[in-house]
Every structure is written in C-alpha cells, then in structure tokens.
Chain A
C-alpha cells in the first residue's frame, strides 16, 4: 500500500517458559490496510498479538511501529504511542461504568464520548451502567468503541467474534473496516470467522503451529477456498513438515 508500513514485524519469536510458540514470523500492516491473521487453534495468533503489544517479551526478532523500534518498550508505553491492542477480554473493566471507561483516558486526557456513541448509538442509553452488567454484545461494542475513541494508528484486535452471535459480528467488523479507511489506520485482526474477516480485509495471513504458511490477498483467498483449507489442514506444499503441536 504505502512505501513505509505502520507496523513491521521481522523474524519474531515468542512463547512461554522459554519455548517458542511462534517462530520467525514477519508481517507488515500499512496505512488504511486491514490484515486478517488466521489459523487453527493453538497456531500462535494471540501470542503474536501479545508480543506485538509487548504484553509478552519477544524471544527474537524486531517490532517496528511508525518507524520506531518498540521491541523493548513497556506495554503501557506502546499503548500510549497509539498502538491499541484489544484483547479477547475486550479491554473493559467490569467495575467501571460505560462513561467511566472514557474518562479513563490514556495520557491524562478524557476520550471523546461523542465519537464512540457515533460508532455505536446503542451504548448511549447505557452510559451509567456498570460494564459487568452489559450483555456480551454490548461489552464488545464498549470495548471496540473505547479502542476506536483512543484514535489508534494501528489497532490489533483479538477475536472480536468471541462468544457473540454472528449477527452482532456482522455489525462490528464493518465498523473496523470503516475506521481503517476513514483514518488511514492499520488493523491487524485475529478472527475465527474466516469468511467475515476476509470480506472486510485486504490481505490474509495463515499461521499454523507457529509458522506462517500462507500470505495472500483477501480476494484470492476468498476465491480459492482450497487455499485456506490446505493451509489449515496442512495438505499443501508444507505438508508433513511439522507434526508436533507447539502451542
């Protein structure tokens, strides 16, 4: 897309207790681009996201964000620079009310409640309710609204669809697409709903057992289901390369 990607990961290795789960992973996310990170359970998708947001140390490789090496920064510093990681726990706090979530700004300034409600009007009547009392869909809306209100230049999202009805997922994902296009931000999306993710995405990456097995344009992946199938099931050119589960 652009000459210089917003997020550039090179030869990343990350894992737990000294065992790498992801090895030699390289990826880029450009401005205005939505990249879908796909793969079966235990492929290392969430680990990759955690390593990018520095919640977990990288065992090897570098992570560059807007031309700056962030590989050794603290997670809170990365977050304040505008790389927002919305984890599968949705980034919300059950004890805080909807409104309080937007007063809990980063860097001491409140977030723009108006923008958030513009994205998700359904949240407006719930502003004084505690987040713990919201339904799963409402919580996810709140989490996404808050993530977007922070105006990230790169947004990484872990399983937006987790535990939600497909109808709601179909509402949420286009919002992510719109944000990327409107504000020329990069989005890295981990998703189980492959077809939904590829509909809004520009490119798709498939991880399997910690290795990148496929990198294609979303269009091509949508067109050829066999491509994804073989990358998930390991029947492609990579077959038999790795049998032991790593993650």
Chain B
C-alpha cells in the first residue's frame, strides 16, 4: 500500500505536465474555438528551447546560432517561456486567425499541421533521440512512506493548481475573462459590443502557450526530452480537457493530475505478480488503453454538452465534385504505370510501388474526411492491424495467401467499426480526439507487445504466393527484375489501386455518396430529411478502414515485415497532410497525394536526386497543410488548371482562344455547383 502511494507521488510530475497542457487546451478552445492538438508540441518546443539556451544556443527553425555561453537558469526559463508564448502568438496569427470562419475540423487538422512542423523543426536540429534535460526545480529528496520522493513533484502540483485557480479567477472576475466568455458565445454580438475577438484569441493563445511551455520545461527532466513523449502527452490532456468540458480550469488541472496518477498506478500494478504477462514480461501500454477508455467515457458523458462557438457565418466546405469521364485518364495512367514498372530502375520502381500504396491509404481518407467530414487519426493503426493479422496468421495458424490478407483487411474493418461506434454519439472534432487516443493505444498496447504485437524487431511476413508464383516484391518476373522489388508486385498494387479507385468513384456517384455529402454539410439537416447519419458514418468508417487495411497488407508484403514504427501516429499525421495537400475531397487528390507520400515518387526524387531529405519534406508538408486549409482545404486537385496564356497565344490563333477559356470556366463553375 505504501509503495502504491509512493508511485502515486512520483506520478504527480507527468500529471502536472498533462494538467498544464489541458489548461492550454481549454484556454485555446475558449479563445478561438480550436482544439489545438499541437499543445503538447508547444510544451516540447519550450523544453527544447530552454535546453538550447542552457547549452548556449538559440533554437530557431533551421538555425541554431551560438549566444556565447549558456544563460543562467532563471533567465533561460523566462526567455524560453516567452519564446513559447511568441510561438503561440505566431500560430494564432498565422493559423487560427485565417481559419476562424472555417469548420472546427479544419481548425483541428491545422493543429496537426502545426504539430508536424514543430516536430520536424526539432527533429532536424536534435534528431529523434532524446536529450538529457537538466533539472529546473529543487530535487531535494523527501523521505516519506519509507521511500524517497523529490520535493519538485509536490512543487509542480502546487504550480499547476495555482495556475488553474488564477485562470479561473481571471475568467470569472476580470473584464478580459468576461470578454472572452462573450466572444466564445457569439462572435458577431461581441463585435457589435465593440470587443475584438481576434485580440482576445491572441491573448488566450499567448497564455496557453506560456502555460504549456513552462510546464514542458519543468517536467522534461522527469519524463524524457524527445520529440515524441511531450507531444503525445496531448492525448491524456485532451481527455482531461474533455472531462472539464473545455471550460473549467480547476477541473482540467485536477483531471490532468489524475491522468498522471493513473499512469503511476498502472506502472505499480505492472510490478505485481497477478498482472497479466506476455512472453514472461508484464503487458505494456495498458496506460494508453486506460486513457482511451477515459476519453470514450468522457465523450459519452460530456460530449454533447461541449460549448459550441457561435459562428456568424456557416463554414464553407471544400467542394467534393463527382468525377466525370474517368475511363480515359484511368487507361492512360494505368498504361504509364505499366510502362514505368517495366522500365524504371529498382529504386524508382520501389518509389512507384510506395506511391500506389500511399494513394490507396489516402483514398481511405477521401471517403471518411472528404465525403463525410469525419476525421480519423488512427488510419495507420488500422493498416498495422491488417498487416499484423497477415503476419500472425501465417506464423501461428499457417494461413497464407489469399485468406490471410482477406482476414487482415476484415480485422482492420472490424476495428474501424468498433472505433466508429462512439462516433454515433459524438460528431466531428471530438471523434478525431477519440481516434487519436485509439491510435496511441493500439500502438502501445498492440504493436509494441512482444507476444501478440510486433515488439522488438518486427513481425516477419512471408511473400504471397498463388499457384506457386511469388507475387511479392521478392518474386521473379521475365522483364526488369534484376533487383527487388519485382515488377509483378507493382502490378498487384496497381490492380488493387484500380479496384479501390473504382470503389471510391462508385461510392461518390451512388446515392450513398450523396447521403455522405449531406451528412458532411449538416448532420441535423441530413437526419431531418430521413438520412440515417449513424448508418452513413459507420459505413464510412468501415469503408475507410477496409481501404486502409488493403494498404496495410500491401505495406506488410512490401517490407517483408510489420514494424511498429511504420504504423506510428506520426505517420498518420503525415498521411493526413499529404491527403489534404493533394485534395482530400477527390480521387484525383488522393492520386496526387500518393506521389508526395514519404518514399513515394516525388519524395524519392527530392531525397535522392535533389538532396532534400524527408525530414525537410515533412516540415514543408506541415506548412503546406496549414496553407491548404486556409485556402478552404480544396487542395491541389481542385485548383484551376494553370492557364499558360502566353504559351497558348503562341500556339493558337487568338480567335479560338476565347471560346476555349469560356468552356473551362463553365466547366469549373459546374464542378463547384456539383460539389455543394
């Protein structure tokens, strides 16, 4: 019992961090109506900035200038907190302000873009490995309950609770607090009162960033200073903020500390003899499952009563036009792919294969996000489940091709439906929060498990063979198979890509597609005309998980093993970024996105031939994701085709130029009308 209490006391450190991030989430939500998933990344930025100052460097994007020796601790702390605050202001000004008329989902995805950008900046400077952060608070040991606890744990809890009480008082009593509450309730009325919601939003974002940054700096020495740990701490913080209805600061802080204590209790339980084991060691990742369950419970309990921001204008969604005349481009592209597979050198062939698999993964988002307006941050978790099922079935049950992959895809679909079920009670943004927690839980509890997951070196996948022919990347083929991957595997990917494209095109053209768009634009109105929003959303989830499951199986065959790091949530972030940049509402957009995915064709050319490593590509992708969202999220696919008027004038006579432009304009406006 005493030992348990000791664990709880030690858990107060991470708990304070979660509480701090939760306070930041509540502040940003009340100030700008955005659920800022990059709050954890801001804490991480603060911690790294402080680390840089103590090392005698100034941390800037792509630069790390020397400032002539390390700064003393208090100065470094203040400067680093101020820098995080400045980052908060910048993000508010450059990201959330231009998006204030957009849907809440767009704001959330923008947070993903910010997260990616911050993470890429840090990884480019410090790499993915952790640093040892120096202590900021007093580490004197207290002797309690027959063990020792550093006094800083208690100090941290004091700091966080003080911050929460102060914020609550400010919001209740001060004119700033009243104004923020008024603007949160109705922006237009606040404007008419002479308040400036934009300035209020900036002030709140600044406060949020400073709180996150300060806690990041203080807690980093107790957890780990790496690009992931602090960033992903946003998941339990989201749970805490949900429990607080994104409104109450004291509840958010207490729930956050509670989340930290939960982790400590789980760790304690792992030391007990009765705790379930796998392969002789205690089961890992149970904490993340608990966090997921807490978030599910909080959503079901609190989800419907989250305060919504009174918007003055209904957000305009990006158009999702039904594809017309698909046969010709399909035939041409297929022909080009076949030609490329038969002629490309092995590295470009691999890149093309990655592109095709990436396009399939992006198509899963087209259905879910582009058509139905739901967001899943668990896409690679579904893919991983499919891949892992293939691997485990072959190893443990001897089930191989073609039944293994079918069962794998079905397993992914089942998981998608399972996670989609809470979606029946919650809508939009909150669902994204749920899938984020699910992705982390599946990763930690499922993939990292040495027994049923792929812990360690990954789980091997045998090549698919049909009638003795190896269809995998290791197979042989009469033409162009000097090196792996075999062009035959490319053809398998191509056929599946064609099948999935046909599926998505068919869905968009069918009445189901129209119902999906109705649900996307207004769930209540859709329900009022007799559409079952539940069925549509669940169908979309199942379809999306099914498609990404196919991608997962192909990834597994492609790499010959299932490696947990390939199905990380960070990869889902990148996938979402590429899907948005390409155009998340159309099949064409997904194909464009396929070219850009990491290790796809464009990425490979940039990396190997033009010298732009993937980490820089991710930095650019994060920024481009935000830019795409600000431009109404329609992506490259829906941009008007470049005019090249000058070239055209050279090529044609001026009199048949005019009607041509008129038809293009007419076709474009029709496409827009069709997508509404």
Contact present for A104 and B178 (CB under 8 Å): yes
In the complex, the chain A residue whose C-beta lies closest to that of B312 is: A55
B188 touches A (CB below 8 Å) = yes
- Bound together, the chains give a CA A79 to CA B184 distance in angstroms of 18
Q: Which residues of the other chain, A, contact B612 by a CB distance below 8 angstroms?
A: none
Taking CB atoms, residues of chain A closer than 8 Å to B188 are 55, 87, 89
Q: Tell me the complex Cα distance, A75–B195, Å.
A: 9
Asked, given contacts A55-B312, A89-B186, A93-B189, whether A76 binds B175 with beta carbons under 8 Å apart, the answer is no
A93, A106, A108 pick with most chain B CB within 10 angstroms:
A93
User: Is A104's CB under 8 angstroms from B192's CB?
Assistant: no
Closest to B199 in A: A76
Q: Is the CB of A93 within 8 A of B185?
A: yes
> In the complex where A104-B178, A104-B179, A108-B175 touch, is A95 in contact with B185 (Cβ < 8 A)?
yes
Query: What are 19 A-B pairs with beta-carbon distances under 8 A?
Result: A76-B191, A76-B195, A79-B192, A80-B194, A84-B192, A89-B186, A89-B188, A91-B189, A91-B192, A93-B181, A93-B189, A95-B181, A96-B178, A96-B182, A96-B185, A104-B182, A106-B194, A106-B195, A107-B194
The answer to whether residues A76 and B194 also contact, given A89-B189, A93-B189 and a CB cut-off of 8 A, is yes
**Roughly how many angstroms separate A106 CA and B195 CA in the complex, as a whole number?**
7
Interface string of B162-189 (1 = CB under 8 A from A): 0000000000000100110110111011
Whether the Cβ atoms of B192 and A87 lie closer than 8 Å is yes
Interface residues of A in 23-68 (CB under 8 A from B): 53, 55
Query: Does B480 sit at the interface, judged by CB under 8 A?
Result: no
Q: How far is the CA of A41 from the CA of B185 in the complex (A)?
A: 27
Given contacts A75-B191, A76-B191, A79-B194, 14 further A-B contacts (CB under 8 A): A74-B196, A87-B189, A89-B186, A89-B189, A92-B189, A93-B185, A94-B185, A95-B181, A95-B185, A96-B181, A96-B182, A104-B175, A104-B179, A104-B193
Would A55 and B191 be within 8 Å (CB), given that A103-B175, A104-B175, A108-B175 are in contact?
yes
Distance between Cα atoms of A75 and B183 in the complex (Å): 14
The answer to whether A53 touches B181, judged by C-beta atoms less than 8 angstroms apart, is no
List of A residues within 8 angstroms of B312 by Cβ: 55
Residues on the A chain within 8 Å of B184, using CB: 95
Instruction: Return A139 CB to nearest CB of chain B, in Å.
Output: 12
Instruction: Flag if A53 contacts B192 (CB, 8 Å).
Output: yes
| Given A103-B175, A103-B178, A108-B175, A85-B185 contact (CB < 8 Å) | no
Interface footprint category on B: 10 to 19
Is A211 interfacial (CB 8 A cutoff)? Answer: no
Whether a CB of chain B sits under 8 angstroms from the CB of A202 is no
Q: Give A70-105 interface residues, CB cut-off 8 Å to B.
A: 74-76, 79-80, 84-87, 89, 91-96, 100, 103-105
Residue of A nearest to B183 (CB): A93
Residues of chain B lying within 8 A (CB to CB) of residue A104: 175, 178-179, 182, 193, 195
Residues of B within 8 A of A89 (CB): 186, 188-189
The residue of chain B having its C-beta at the shortest distance from the C-beta of A81 within the complex is B194
Residue of B nearest to A54 (CB): B191
Shortest CB-to-CB span from B29 to chain A, Å, is: 14
Contact of B192 among A55, A100, A107, A108 (CB under 8 A): A55
Interface centre among B175, B191, B312 (most CB of A within 10 A): B191
Mark out the residues of chain B between 471 and 505 whose CB falls within 8 Å of any chain A CB in the assembled complex.
Answer: none
Nearest CB of A to B673, in Å? 13
Q: Which residues of B contact A55 (CB under 8 A)?
A: 188, 191-192, 312
Most A CB within 10 A of own CB, among B193, B196, B312:
B193
Q: Which 6 A-B pairs have the closest CB atoms?
A: A106-B194, A79-B194, A75-B191, A80-B194, A93-B182, A93-B185
| Contact B193 A79, beta carbon cutoff 8 Å | yes
Q: How far is the CB of A180 from chain B (nearest CB, A)?
A: 19
Task: Give bound CA distance, A74 to B184, whole Å.
Answer: 19
What residue of chain B has the Cβ atom nearest to residue A143's Cβ? B189
A94 to B184, CA, bound (A): 11
Across the interface, which residues of A come within 8 angstroms of B181, CB to CB? Answer: 93, 95-96
Query: Of all chain A residues, which has the CB nearest B192?
Result: A85
A93 and B186: CB pair below 8 A? yes
Interface residues of B in 564-580 (CB under 8 A from A): none
Can you name the residue of chain B whose Cβ is closest to the Cβ of A79? B194
Q: Considering the complex, which residues of chain A in the window 87-136 have a beta carbon less than 8 Å from any beta carbon of chain B?
A: 87, 89, 91-96, 100, 103-108
Residues from chain B with a CB closer than 8 A to the CB of A91 are: 189, 192-193
In the complex, are the beta carbons of A75 and B192 less than 8 A apart?
Answer: yes
Distance of A85 Cα from B192 Cα, bound (Å): 6
